[in-house]
Amino acid sequence: MFRLDGKIAVITGGARGIGAETARVFREAGATVVTWDASDGADMRVDVTDQTLVAKAVVDVAAKHRRIDILVNNAGILRDAQLVKVKDGAVIGGMSEADFDAVIAVNEKGVFVCTQAVAPIMIRQGSGRILSASSVVGLYGNFGQTNYVASKAAVIGMTKVWARELGPRGITVNAVAPGFIATEMVRGMPEKILATMLERTPLRRLGEPRDVAYAYLYLASDEAAFVNGAVLSVDGGVVVGT
């Protein structure tokens, strides 16, 4: 079960973390995987916010492999800050417009750009799987993450729309909402923050990148053929507090 033999998969943000682990799991399941990333370490260097570069990358993949069966919109960034930071009754800072725009560009616009570029190929094939990274905070919100939460909630909304628009074409569209996952970025956080994450997770551990990768594997497989417009939480039962 959950084999991807003969499938061609594109994974954005595939150079490290969840993206790299998803690429490994997909290859192990028989897929041919092409990873995209804005930094070194991926098969192709692609900025998901650049429509021209993404369109060229899609043409290159399709020319080489003749099809694209799976798109995993995994690329994402963080730029955390409070909306307005107050100390002793005075406003001393807040989230910058640049940080808001940067997160929306990668996490939201990037998903739109990549999906819009790949969808015509899947439509011509009459089949495809589009999977996108949302987050538990996209469902529940989180302190200090206005931009990130907005982008991840938008992914859920776009997933619902595209499931309706592309479903009749034989394409399923779903999202995964990870909780606290032990990526390099998370492991580098202060001990106090990590302890709070564990306290809020009933399983009392951080998730591993493979936990999310296997969720993607299921949704990409033939066994998930009737799952469309879903948001699969992979969070250990997390309760997001204030």
- Using a 10 angstrom Cβ sphere, with 0-12 exposed, 13-18 middle and 19 or more buried, the burial of residue 191 is exposed
pLDDT tens figures, 44-70: 999 999 999 999 999 999 999 999 999
Look-up: residue for tokens 């900025």? 47
Closest residue by Cα to residue 162 from 116, 126, 218 = 116
218 is catalytic: no
Closest residue by Cα to residue 50 from 64, 38, 34, 35 = 38
The predicted pLDDT at position 187 comes to 78
- This prediction has a pTM of 0.95
What domains lie within the chain, and their CATH numbers?
Answer: 8-234 (3.40.50.720)
pLDDT tens figures, 181-227: 998 877 777 888 888 888 889 999 999 999 999 999 999 999 999 99
Please give the single-letter amino acid code of residue 128: G
**How far is the CA of 169 from the CAs of 173, 216, 224, 231, in angstroms?**
11, 21, 16, 20
DSSP 20: H
CA–CA distance, 179 with 201 (Å, rounded to integer): 9
Q: Which of 140, 148, 216, 218 is catalytic?
A: 148
Tokens of 96: 């910058």
